[in-house]
Structure 1
Amino acid sequence: MDEMVDAALIGQLARLLRQVGVEPTALEAVRVADQKLRRRVDVVRDALLVDLPPGYGEAAAAVRAAFSDEAFTGWMLWPVSEAVVDRALAAGSARSFDDALDVLALLTTRLSGEFAIRRMLNADLERTLEVATGWTRSPDLHVRRLASEGTRSHLPWAAGVPDLVRRPGATRAIVDALYTDDSEYVRRSVANHVNDLSRDDPDLAADIVAGWLDRPEENTPRVAGHALRTLIKKGHPRALALMGFEGDEFRVDGPTVTERRVPLGAAVDFTARITNTGTRPARTAIDFVLHFRTARGVLRPKVFKLASLLIAPGDTVVVDKSYSFHARTTRSFHPGEHAIGLQVNGRPHGRDTFHLIQPEESP
């Protein structure tokens, strides 16, 4: 990801700006080798703030002029959008603020403005949400998605917006307007948005989804399930009921791991048997909980979806799963004891342990 903003892209951005009368002196002096993506974006943004005209209006006009060239697209627009917001907030006028939101809506058609809009939300939450709510009616799916994605309370990689966390209901009009959007890209953002809300106000997230299910369209059940995925894993009673998961009379044998010593880079396999001991069919959400060992030697749980099954009274189902400990950038693995548990409709059942070892320790 770091290489998405590299010397070649910076050179192309400089050429495009020169074509519209901006002399990119500072931009051409930028060097980003060996820097992380976020730092690269900041360095390019700072150079743009040196090269662009000092007034907001002139800077925005230069960006709009550059946009007329289809080559003005992709990752170069992230630092451009940040520079536009910086100029607008420095200008301090309502006119500049609103125009900067218009520029973000323009740029987002070629690369999402979800990161740059965070500073607008922090500067004036009410006005930004008012404009974003209007974007839900845009004919452009990227603008509609920006309305949802940019206003998420826990958007990954993005600056925090404390007021969105304190006021989780502030964006309800946006998600209610978009949950039936024609675009899967937009609907997925809406589901992630409500999943974010569930971290701060679980009951509100359930209320929102309940409203959707009262006015469903073809894709609504899938959007609802994705929106409630964290609450389902946590066993939130209303979320389980909304998605039709019912029944709490089960006998669970396992989970049982097949190998007690698992080398780093290999996989742990486990199996379990679940019997419905009740008198009615039970639709079940089955998850497994992997208790990872941290660098400090404590176990920290992470819940993973395993299966959704309808189990008849007296019937037994067998579930099995393999989890790989191959190297990945999103998680570090530490040798030592780990554990696996099972959840059925949010309730914990069973636990088994194994040791993650260095490959050279294998027998």
Structure 2
Amino acid sequence: MMAEEAASPALLKDILGTSALETIADAGATASARFDRPTLLRSAADGLDALSIMERVRHIAGALHTALRWSYPEALDVIRAMAPHLTHAFQAMAVTEYVARYGLDDFDRSMDVLAELTRFGSAEFAIRPFLAADTPRALVTMMRWTDSEDEHVRRLASEGARPRLPWAARVPALKADPTLASPILEALRTDASLYVRKSVANHLNDIAKDRPDWLLDRLAGWSQDNPRTGWIVRHALRTLIKQGEPRALALIGVGHGAAATVLRFAIVPETVCLGDSISIAAELVSDSRDDQRLVVDYRIHYARAAGKTAPKVFKFKTFELAANETVTMMIAQTIRDFSTRRHYPGRHRVELIVNGQTMAEAAFDLVPG
């Protein structure tokens, strides 16, 4: 959802459009004959068009509050009964947001309900107010979730406590000490579910941005004999690996720098317009009598306004280079705007990075179409 290939904001917010409101209203009416379906539809539709996707989530939660005109415990029973009738994760997120906004005074019951609802649409955002209100209390509950038989609940334990969870409100205690949830990560480091392991790796990668030395020390103590743990370590270190951090490279069995020569590094075509694609080609030959593991990335220095540049590293290839072997690599990339990146005309330098060291450079020019 946060990847560059994600839907545009205009399409994304339409996920919670008129038809979604009808589905949520129908779910409420199915859950309880007392549910005020007309009030929900009227309140949720009011001002909806101007809102972004996450603003719609919060807006619909407020509309649910107007339609659930009884005590919070009774409303929770309706919320729980609604969830199986929803048809999209974002609809379920609006329901979990109701718990986040109105359930803090019933802390333990609300946390239990979020664990139940998370399989319908992740409650990772809804858990944040509970973490902010009482971090130790919330983390104790989330630690218990690591023993759940449900992979969605185990994932929530990790994902909900991420220090830099995208789109989510920051939790002051986690911002001050992003390692507070580390016991949860320890408990999940051999989890059987890839869904959970991805969250653990992303959580650790968040920590790498603020406490890299802590992360490197911690992961150095994790045995990678278990392939599940090894997978987490490799993905958790991706930011530090892109930065060429020697300890991070060592943890995945890669030396800093490579005994290799770049025979060719080229960008084709060298002049493009927005929307065009470039091909990046590299040819390397081993200078070693031994096999070696190579992590090859490339860094594009995007032209910006006023002659400035903004670098971004992309993965190229990770592989074993045999003694005296020559290897050719090629990757294509389309030059187009995203919500997170706007392109500017000008020279774009591209560096080839092998095991953390820049070994070659090329460039392409972006010109007005």
TM-score between both structures, scaled by the size of structure 1: 0.89
The one-letter amino acid paired with 2:17 is D
Aligned-partner Cα distance in 1 for 2:130–2:264: 51
Structure 2 partner of 1:71: 85
Is 1:323 the counterpart of 2:333? The answer is yes
Q: How far did residue 253 of structure 1 move?
A: 4.7
Q: Secondary structure at the match of 1:151?
A: coil
- Aligned residues between the structures: 351
Structure 2 partner of 1:56: 72
Choose 221-230 or 317-326, whichever is displaced more: 317-326
Is 1:40 the counterpart of 2:56? The answer is yes
Q: Secondary structure at the match of 2:250?
A: helix
Q: How far did residue 254 of structure 1 move?
A: 5.2
Aligned-partner Cα distance in 2 for 1:109–1:313: 49
8 A contact 2:246–2:255 mirrored in 1: no
Q: Secondary structure at the match of 2:312?
A: strand
Structure 2 partner of 1:232: 241
| Structure 2: gaps spanning 5 or more residues | 1-11
User: Which of 153, 167, 170 is the equivalent residue of 1:143?
Assistant: 153
Q: What do the CA deviations read for 1:67-101 (whole angstroms, capped 9, x no partner)?
A: 4xx31453222122112122222x3xxxx111110
8 A contact 2:295–2:319 mirrored in 1: yes
8 A contact 2:23–2:87 mirrored in 1: no
Structure 1 partner of 2:29: 18
| Structure 1: gaps spanning 5 or more residues | none
Structure 1 partner of 2:184: 174
Cα distance change of structure 1 residues 130 and 276 upon mapping to structure 2, 3 Å threshold: same
The one-letter amino acid paired with 2:138 is T
Aligned-partner Cα distance in 2 for 1:224–1:247: 18
Q: How far did residue 53 of structure 1 move?
A: 3.3
8 A contact 1:247–1:282 mirrored in 2: no
Q: Secondary structure at the match of 1:219?
A: helix
8 A contact 1:342–1:348 mirrored in 2: yes
8 A contact 1:236–1:346 mirrored in 2: yes
What aligned pairs does 1:168-207 form with structure 2 within 5 A after superposition?
Answer: 168-207=178-217
Aligned-partner Cα distance in 2 for 1:57–1:64: 11
Structure 1 partner of 2:100: 85
The one-letter amino acid paired with 2:217 is D
Is 1:269 the counterpart of 2:282? The answer is no
Aligned-partner Cα distance in 2 for 1:355–1:72: 48
Q: What do the CA deviations read for 1:19-50 (whole angstroms, capped 9, x no partner)?
A: 41222444211222353211211211121222
Structure 1 partner of 2:163: 153
Cα distance change of structure 1 residues 258 and 25 upon mapping to structure 2, 3 Å threshold: closer
Structure 1 partner of 2:16: 5
What aligned pairs does 1:202-217 form with structure 2 within 5 A after superposition?
Answer: 202-214=212-224, 216-217=225-226
What aligned pairs does 1:84-163 form with structure 2 within 5 A after superposition?
Answer: 84-89=99-104, 91=105, 96-163=106-173
Aligned-partner Cα distance in 2 for 1:157–1:317: 40
The one-letter amino acid paired with 2:348 is H
Q: How far did residue 170 of structure 1 move?
A: 1.0
Aligned-partner Cα distance in 1 for 2:131–2:189: 22
8 A contact 1:254–1:352 mirrored in 2: no
The one-letter amino acid paired with 1:79 is A
Aligned-partner Cα distance in 2 for 1:106–1:247: 46
Aligned-partner Cα distance in 2 for 1:247–1:333: 32
TM-score between both structures, scaled by the size of structure 2: 0.87
Aligned-partner Cα distance in 1 for 2:230–2:288: 26
Identity %: 36
The one-letter amino acid paired with 2:18 is A
Q: How far did residue 132 of structure 1 move?
A: 0.6
8 A contact 1:16–1:72 mirrored in 2: yes
Is 1:283 the counterpart of 2:293? The answer is yes
Q: How far did residue 146 of structure 1 move?
A: 0.6
Q: How far did residue 16 of structure 1 move?
A: 2.7
Aligned-partner Cα distance in 2 for 1:297–1:113: 43
Q: Secondary structure at the match of 1:33?
A: helix
8 A contact 2:192–2:228 mirrored in 1: no
Aligned-partner Cα distance in 1 for 2:86–2:277: 45
